[in-house]
A = this chain, B = another copy of it.
Amino acid sequence: MHVDQLDAAQVAQALAEAESDYQALLAQGLSLDLTRGKPSAEQTNLSNDLDGILKGHYAAQDGTDVRNYGGLDGLPEAKALFAQALQVPADEMLIAGNASLTLMYQVIDFALRFGFRKAWNKGASTPKFLCPVPGYDRHFAICEYLGIEMVTLPMLDDGPDMDVAEALVQELDNVCGIWCVPRFSNPTGCVYSEATLARLAELPKLAQNDFIVMYDNAYAVHALTDDAPALGNIRDYAVAAGTENHIVQFGSTSKITFAGAGVAFLSTSKANLAVLKHHLGFQTIGPDKVNQLRHVAFFQNHEGLMAHMTRHASIMKPRFNAVLTTLDAKLGGTGMGTWISPEGGYFVSFETRPGLAKTVIRLASDAGIKLTPAGATFPYGNDPQDSNIRIAPSFPSIADVQATMDAFVLCVRLATLRSLASSGTFGS
């Protein structure tokens, strides 16, 4: 029954049950962790053949000895392979080291300091960035660290609220860019619609500044099912809009092969690539080309990579199912929270009733269940509604995901009922 339909006595009874269940949960002394979106050992096992795959052959297709210095933008065959994941031409790719986060940091740092065409920080006011919320904490941390003011806008089911984005870009001074995770967004799981992409590609034209769309396509090939929604091609929209110098797309194999020992890449216009390579040349002689060659040898081609992702999906799907069936069974129709069923990516985004996220996370923590800190999905760690909780089911075993979710829904139930009981406002 929906909690808004419960009368005082029903709330009291349901609360008593929840308190009792919670005492039993505490008594279990669990120690579980659902915090970070990292692959399980079962997933990384899929790529164990990477080490040793070269069998002594260290030459790239063009004869380059990958063991030696050189090549700031990576191997041509790695460009060709990963360009297909991002739906861009191979000559608009740069293949780097093990972290796309590093590439994102570098792009914003370069743009702030020198600019692709002119530096951002020459404006009168603090540079600003649009941040669809909820979003990814490490994106927000880069902005905060580099002194960029974050302006939030709502995330809808088909991407950022573009009406708000367009208004903010025109109304505010010195808006420099927007963060996007366009497919299986972190954490809501939404996929940007064609209409959103088209408007995103036009957005730089509305800005006073040298606006950059930071297009973190982290989950480009990370569908859970064969019929998960595809993502449109932002590069085509940008070329049509004449804004290809204002889009920088990112990706990596962190959640394809090894998290932390994979290959990161970006794609942008050739003009931007030339600027980036100039800047990168002061801080590196080049990326680890041996690891790039390993990845090419391992996947062979895009079809090999997609077949590999199907194997990931078969490991991930039961974990997502454990989350979603538990939420449906225990909280469906109760009004105690809302969530969407993502068809890819690494997260389920859960919304408590307003003001309860911190309480739920504390209750879970007291019961030995570690959840992502409240507010982590918002700039400055501040969720104004105190309602968003990011659930990351990839790493634990299926049994642990199930145990954690059983505890989680109980914590949601207890927090909601305690709140209702103390507020004294009941339905019917």
Contact = CB atoms under 8 A, between A and B. Distances in A.
A133 to B, nearest CB: 20
Interface in A262-317: 282-291, 294
A41 B56 contact: no
B69 A41 contact: no
A99 B48 contact: no
Contacts of A98: 97, 284, 287-288
A336 to B, nearest CB: 32
A286 B259 CA distance: 10
Contact of A283 (B41, B51, B101): B101
Contacts of A39: 68
A58 B68 contact: no
Contacts of A117: none
Contact of A260 (B47, B142, B285): B285
A205 interface: no
B282 A142 contact: yes
A258 B39 CA distance: 29
B283 A66 contact: no
A105 interface: yes
A36 interface: yes
27 contacts: A36-B69, A38-B69, A41-B65, A41-B67, A41-B68, A44-B58, A44-B67, A48-B58, A51-B55, A51-B56, A52-B53, A66-B260, A67-B259, A67-B260, A68-B258, A69-B259, A69-B260, A98-B287, A101-B284, A102-B284, A138-B285, A142-B282, A259-B285, A260-B285, A260-B288, A260-B290, A261-B289
Given A66-B261, A69-B260, 20 more contacts: A36-B69, A39-B68, A44-B65, A48-B58, A51-B52, A51-B294, A52-B52, A52-B53, A67-B260, A68-B260, A70-B260, A97-B97, A99-B284, A101-B283, A101-B285, A138-B285, A145-B282, A260-B285, A261-B291, A288-B291
